[in-house]
Structure 1
Amino acid sequence: MSSSSPQPDIVIFCGGRGTRLSEKTREMPKPLIELGEYPILWHIMKLYSHYNLNRFILTLGYKGEMITDYFLYRHPLTQSFSMNLSKPKHPTPDEDWEIAFVQTGIESKTARRLILCRDQIQSDFFMVTYGDGVADIDIPALMKRHKELKKKYGVVATITVTRPYSKYGITTLNGDIVQSFSEKPQMNDYINVGFMVLEKQIFDYIRQDEDLMFEDTLQEVAEDRKLGYYIHEGFWHAMDNYKDYEDLNKMWRENPKWKIWNE
């Protein structure tokens, strides 16, 4: 393993089955579901790459060979290129990304997937996110917030939180009539949307012999008062179900708020 890098590596959870989107995940892993002409995983990586963070660690599981195949063979062919057919040569992708493909098991939960890629992490601290959500998060501001919280409170993890919008219209009742009705209002509570910054001390909370969700790990960190947060007020949307798939693709065509890169 090479010496520590000043820029954080990015771990992306890519191994789950995505059962709530089975219309698509019967055929492919969730991170490869298309959002426009590229998979949602590419969109997530482009956000980090916009801030010159170009080393990724993908925790592969369900149909993981399809993700490897995409980056090795399919993605380079999405661009325009020419070749001499007498000396065919695979085109080079535009993105200057280094990707570690880590086999973490078909059924592993996220905490185990993370610890299985521990040896691939070359940076002093690192970042982790889920392979199914896009956002216009200010990554430098997130890292700055983490460093401040680490210095002040000794945090080992900082999560990004946002206030989601309700999927339902909210009514307030007054006797036999409706006093007020709000169509899909923003909720008061915050949720973790990924885009986390972690110190390597996080591995002190993950036991090799247990297979748990990473959210269980974060709960332990929170109980130790070592979990910080960064409030994201901008756009975030996960691809949880088929309606999310349709909505995000419509946004991509009309107004992709998460597309902060230029090309």
Structure 2
Amino acid sequence: MIPPIANRFVASETSAVALEHVRQLNDRNVAGILNLLGEHYETRPPVRADAAEYRALIRDIARSDLEATISVKPSQFGLDLGGDVFRETLADVVGVAADHGVFVWIDMEDHTTTDATLDAFEALAREHWGGERSASGHGANGAAGGIGVCVQANLRRTREDVERLADVPGKVRFVKGAYDEPADVAYQDADRIDREYRNLLEYAFNHYDDGIAVGSHDPEMIDYAIDRHEEHGTDFEIQMLMGVREDAQTDLAGEYPVYQYVPYGNRWKSYFYRRMTERTENIRFALRAIFGR
């Protein structure tokens, strides 16, 4: 059972309760991004188990009337065991999602995983959704749903990656980056990272056709994206974590598409610890959840 301090950030240990959380979000006009917690597996059994859980989750979403997508991690799908394991597992889950019309996000992990993650994203996007989309949102081969990937503004390489992805038939989620990366591959100064984030959004709103996701709790970055949307008319959505600025999520959902990242599963302790150590603001949110302030 997840204790009260943690259940602000983690929906449940089970998919059934996590789906009910998404239903409650939908009542507030907020969509859900469901993530089964798990990462950095060193053996095949947990990779297979999580892939099976995701396939079942996709079918549950497809049978429901929920506004929900899924999000997976490369190391959860066996990247630490080899690129072939990751690609095979991801392709299997994405194929099921395409058949059922469910969108799949691929999370980004540390910089050593970037090439493998982007290569897999591009290959699957072109396989299932290559060519022009129809008005129904189906790809050239009839596949519904869609696929997206995350890029991190703190990485020095990201501008080139974003330019590469401009013609890939999928969405891109822009985040600042939460991993402690070395200085030779990542910017260390917060102001520089903010500047890069704005520059990346400016480029994307000018060059992307398949949608942009703004993964940020920073009001300045969200306002910047809204301004770019109003200027260029490019489709975009706002993505925030469960348990962080939830009032703002509801307020923004009155005018723009908003998605909440909803983690669940029995591996919640390490995820909750990261949320607590990432930002002092998260600690304040947790304390308010306990003391009601």
Query: Would you say same fold, with TM above 0.5?
Result: no
Computing the radius of gyration over CA atoms, which structure comes out larger, 1 or 2? 1
Q: Which has the higher strand share?
A: 1
For normalisation by structure 1, the TM-score amounts to: 0.29
For normalisation by structure 2, the TM-score amounts to: 0.27
